[in-house]
Amino acid sequence: MTKIAIIGLGGCLGAILRYLVAGGVHTLAKSASFPLGTLTVNVAGCLLIGIGGGLMESRQFFSPEWRSFLFVGVLGSFTTFSTFGLETFNLAKQGQWLTSFGNVGFSLVLGLVAVFTGYVLSRMI
């Protein structure tokens, strides 16, 4: 139960950070035609999970509780794209290129199909 609370606390913080960062970038950029706030959050999340993943791998820097708080909680709600990036990178790093590219392709295509399907279903309700 403690692990769930730790993740929940991190998730709360990550969601608030996402709102503030994406909204702040959107306000500064004043561009309604490109989702620059979301792009910023996704890239920042990937940078942070890359740094954290590297520290965890090379120096065993984080305890299991801190990993749950930061990686699953904060970054998980800040952007799931960072987890997708780290998992895809790890597959490529392990020489699993086909699986790595498959992850990118399936995630992109199936994600867009799911959005389209959800949109169509919402019109039927």
Binding residues: 76, 79
| Binding site residue list for Na(+) | 76, 79
- Which letter does DSSP use for residue 94 in this model? T
CA-nearest of 82, 80, 76, 78 to 17 is 78
Cα dihedral 65, 70, 71, 72 sign: positive
- Residue pair 28/40 in contact (Cβ under 8 Å)? The answer is no
CB 50 within 8 A of CB 89: yes
Q: DSSP H helical segments within 30-96, as ranges?
A: 36-59, 64-67, 75-78, 80-93
